[in-house]
Chains A and B, each alone.
Chain A
Amino acid sequence: MTTQAMDFTLSRDAFGHLSLTDAAGERHDHVQVVRAFPIAAPDEGISLLSADGHELAWITHLDQTDPATRQLIDETLAARDFMPVLQRLKSVSSYATPSTWAVDTDRGPTRFVLRGEENIRRLPGEMLMIADEHGIQYLIKSLPALDAHSRKLLDRFL
């Protein structure tokens, strides 16, 4: 399955789903696009899965795709990837959990409830992943790069 980008074609149907036609000319509907390493290496290892979850194609790096395919993949991923990057911690309701956090993210300001300190996970490279009570994951790309106020608030939970 280490096929390069060019032995299949992608298209979008009227329902907004992706369809893939493979080298043998077989058409697969409802194709899903999945990042293999959404945090560590988002642009590497993109997998195209059939509706029942079998891998149809593997793209080693997004750069290897032609512009049309790349656009389709980007669009699909944009509508699917949801991991707001937390840029600023404005306030927390209490230092004890559950605590409601008001934050600025790359997707605009929002609030969420942190259930417990264990929902803050350290990732390699000073990154943090915070899961709220509904399982939405917020990413802090670099802890030292946050402003002092946010770091001070966050420090109470680490």
Chain B
Amino acid sequence: MLTNTMATADTASTPLLPEPWHTHLQSALAPDESIEAWLTLDLDDTLRFSDSVLVLTGRQLIACATDGQIAAWPLDAAFELHAHDHAGVGSLTLQNETARQAIWRFTLTQNPAALRFCRRFDQILDALREGREAGPVPAVLCAQCHAPLPPDEDDCPACSGSIDQPPSTWTLFRLWRFAKPYKGQLLIGFLLTLAATGATLVPPYLTMPLMDNVLIPYQNGQQIDTSLVVLYLGGLLASAVVAWGLGWMRTYILALFSERIGADLRTTTYDHLLRQSLEYFGNKRTGDLMARISSETDRICVFLSLHALDFATDVLMIIMTAIILASINPWLALVTLVPLPFIAWLIHLVRDRLRTGFDKTGRVWGEITSVLADTIPGIRVVKAFAQEKRESERFREANRVNLEANDKLNRVWSVFSPTVALLTEVGLLVVWAFGIWQVANNDITVGVLTAFLAYIGRFYGRLDSMSRIVSVTQKAAAGAKRVFDILDHASSVPEPTNPIHLKGVKGQITLANVGFRYGNRAVLRDVDLVIQPGEMVGLVGHSGSGKSTLVNLMCRFYDVSEGAIRIDGVDVRSVPVGEYRKHIGLVLQEPFLFFGTIAENIAYGKPEATRDEIVAAARAAHAHEFILRLPQGYDSLVGERGQGLSGGERQRISIARALLIDPKILILDEATSSVDTETEKEIQKALDNLVRGRTTIAIAHRLSTLRKANRLVVMDRGRIVEEGDHDTLIERGGFYWRLYEAQQRQVEGEALTPSLTPSMPNAHTAGVDAEPTLK
């Protein structure tokens, strides 16, 4: 019976069991018995980290512990294998109708494999019960996450590109990507730097003949040759003027260049940030993100325009000086360069400490801005609860940590510069001593020694400033790392590699086996739902039952963890994100109005809309009249959070916004929850216009809002528990009925004591931004 399954097991669909499990298991397997599936378990019964393996053959389930100990359960038609997970631990339970037979545990790392294992177990048991052979593992499913693969793609849209590589430490060189478009300018800047540096090296060279041909002969009793003096002094002036002109041009060109790199970096980072999924924003602190994009990019820019430029000049100067010195007198040049390796060593020594220090101060700075970003928007709560002192304490604490980090850094830093200065002085001393000895031996003239001293005065001066580059480079590198952290973060809602373009969307939505987890919490499990074009589906359930998550998945704010969502039969992950969202209109519980006029806010999703279109949308949304009552009509400015407008008014503006883009699919996430019953009626009229002819998914806590729905889907704890229209569900007397009854009672209670509960009690929905965050 098993010969056929063996053949399939030999194909690539079942990966070979790795060692040492393979050896351990040899004794437990019959010669013709093949492995159907296997799962690595990384926890033992007491939840300690320990590897073991669970193997499924056509006849038995075998658990093999680390030490090779084997326990086997011959397959029985009554067996069931259940997968559960809680707080990062998954468990597989093997049970029959009377009792639990065994339980195995693993971390969520193994969860996709465990689910796959379960499916295969079910397939084999189904076959066993029906007395037929289990077929091969269905190939259309992704091997990693069990999502069905799109028909003409090899890579699973859910899994591909999910492996991250840590960014390399040579982060600053990655800025080259942004410098590339300005190659020409960079080259001109470099040549100018070269020429300008060369020009500054002329004056010390001229001191040599000035000394040997003018001053020393005069001291020895000769007349001063005026023409020679004029020539040399003229040379000094000319080189200074040339150096000035070249330096000015160079600084200007390179500053322009670095500003442009900074601007490009900032916009690219922001663009990348906007493409991230909501999950990313949920996990990051706003203040930190803002600091990265604003101050870090600025720091990089300053580094490029000032410090990197200076450093390049210094390096050039040192190289050129070394060449000139060597050409005048190789021995003295050698002695002059002796302190250089010491200073290089010192720089190397301090670099690591400084880098970690600056990295840390950057993070601590993010902490400070985070406190601000936290408190300022929540200022009403702070004041209402009289917690100014506590918030001030929090800020003080963040500042203290900042001080501490900086103090530590400065301890290293403060020793560094004076040490470099000391080495410089010692170096000068060595040159003086060696030079005097050489002059005494008549190896060099006094002029040569003077020139050397003039050169190395600059030379060591540059070394000192070069050593400063260490700190700014580390600062910039730390900043660049934090910026590239954003740039390197692949969106968890990735753009498809082979996008499929939707032509004429009908609006059918299919959810197949959809599962979603938020951090280690499974929010949705095995959701299957088909919504026909033009149908209005109401999602009902307690708060936390997964309604909002389901809607967020349909909008592709997140991607499903398991299963697939299809629009007109196409997996949403294979449609470009922007194109897909164009077909979706979203009305949220808390409408967000941007700073701008009302007209701009209505036209947010379609900036090219004509005024007639805007007015028509506002009319249909029942917003036209109240807008006209405002002093500036459609040109009235609304603030950051739409201050000056009531909740109902803001909501109608957001309905108009959704109407204007004329989407095929409409999502109403508690669109009427935050307003009183009177306003709700107004909004309801607006919504009725909006819903017409579109596939609509509406979440509402107030069940009366869903009276127009063709179908109600009742959710509880991440699963669909009931489906049907209002009457059917009431008749069934199940979950929906209980929900409805409870609300009816509340409505009656409210009718009796209207002053106590001015609005309907809303179990708050976990909206987009109210999702629990994993921090």
Task: Output the least CB separation between B558 and chain A (Å).
Answer: 14
**A-side contacts of B43, CB under 8 Å:** 82, 107
Chain A residues, Cβ within 8 Å of B708? none
The count of residues in chain A whose C-beta lies closer than 8 Å to any C-beta of chain B is 39
| Contacting pair B107 A155 (CB below 8 A) | no
B-facing residues in A109-132 (Cβ within 8 Å) = 109-110, 113, 115-119, 121, 131
Q: Which residues of B contact A40 (CB under 8 A)?
A: none
User: In whole angstroms, what is the CA distance A141 to B587 when docked?
Assistant: 44
Please tell me if B47 contacts chain A, counting CB pairs below 8 Å.
Answer: yes
Q: For B42, give the chain A residue with the smallest CB separation.
A: A110
Give the size of the chain B interface in residues (CB under 8 angstroms). 46
- Tell me if B100 and A96 are in contact (CB < 8 A): no
Residues of A within 8 A of B152 (CB): none
Instruction: Choose among B49, B164, B359, B717 the residue that contacts A156 (Cβ–Cβ < 8 A).
Output: B359
Which A1-18 residues have C-beta < 8 A from chain B?
14-16
Which of A21-29, A64-72, A73-81 contacts its partner? A73-81
Shortest A44–chain B CB gap in Å is: 19
Contact, CB under 8 Å: A80 / B49:
no
Residue of B nearest to A94 (CB): B166
Name the residue on B nearest A138 (C-beta): B88
- List A residues 94-114 near B (Cβ within 8 Å): 94-99, 105, 107-110, 113
Question: Which B residues contact A (CB, under 8 angstroms)?
Answer: 42-43, 46-50, 86-89, 91, 93, 95, 98-100, 103, 105, 107-109, 111, 164-167, 169, 283-285, 288, 356, 359-360, 363, 481, 485, 517, 519-521, 716-717, 774-775
Docked-complex contact A109 and B49, CB < 8 angstroms: yes
Min Cβ gap A50→B in Å is 12
- Smallest Cβ distance from A154 to chain B, in angstroms? 12
9 contacts between A and B (CB under 8 A): A79-B91, A82-B43, A82-B47, A83-B87, A98-B164, A107-B43, A118-B288, A134-B111, A135-B517
User: CA separation between A119 and B167, bound complex, in Å?
Assistant: 18
Task: Looking at the assembled complex, report how far the CB atom of B433 sits from the nearest CB atom of chain A, in whole angstroms.
Answer: 43
Asked whether B46 lies within 8 Å of A80 as measured between CB atoms, the reply is no
Instruction: Evaluate contact between A107 and B47: CB separation under 8 angstroms.
Output: yes
Say yes or no: A119 contacts B775, CB within 8 Å.
Answer: yes
CA distance A134 to B42 in the complex (A): 14
Interface centre among A83, A98, A105, A109 (most CB of B within 10 A): A98
Decide if A134 touches B520 in the complex (CB within 8 Å): yes
Contacting residue for B169 out of A78, A96, A107, CB 8 A: A96
Contacts A82-B43, A82-B88, A136-B108 aside, 13 further interface pairs with beta carbons under 8 A come to: A14-B99, A15-B93, A78-B47, A79-B47, A94-B166, A95-B359, A98-B164, A107-B47, A110-B42, A110-B49, A118-B285, A119-B283, A119-B774
Q: What residues of B have a CB within 8 angstroms of the CB of A16 in the complex?
A: 93, 100, 103
Are B49 and A107 within 8 A (Cβ)? yes
Q: Complex Cα distance A117/B364, Å?
A: 12
- Inter-chain CA distance A90–B716, complex, in Å, is 43
A37 vs B18: C-alpha distance when bound (angstroms): 41
Q: Which residues of A, 36-95, contact B by the 8 Å Cβ criterion? A: 52-53, 78-84, 93-95
- Nearest residue in A to B89 (C-beta to C-beta)? A82
Say whether, besides A78-B46, A96-B485, A135-B521, A155 and B99 are in contact (CB < 8 Å). Answer: no
Query: Which residues from A are CB-within-8-Å of B100?
Result: 14-16
Contacts A82-B47, A117-B363: A97 and B485 contacting too (C-beta < 8 A)? Answer: yes
- CA separation between A52 and B50, bound complex, in Å? 33
* A145: interface (CB < 8 Å): no
**Contacts A116-B485, A155-B360 hold; do A93 and B166 have CB atoms under 8 A apart?**
yes
| Minimum CB–CB distance for A106 against chain B, Å | 8
Query: CA A78 – CA B283 in complex, angstroms?
Result: 29
A136 and B284 contact, CB distance less than 8 A: no
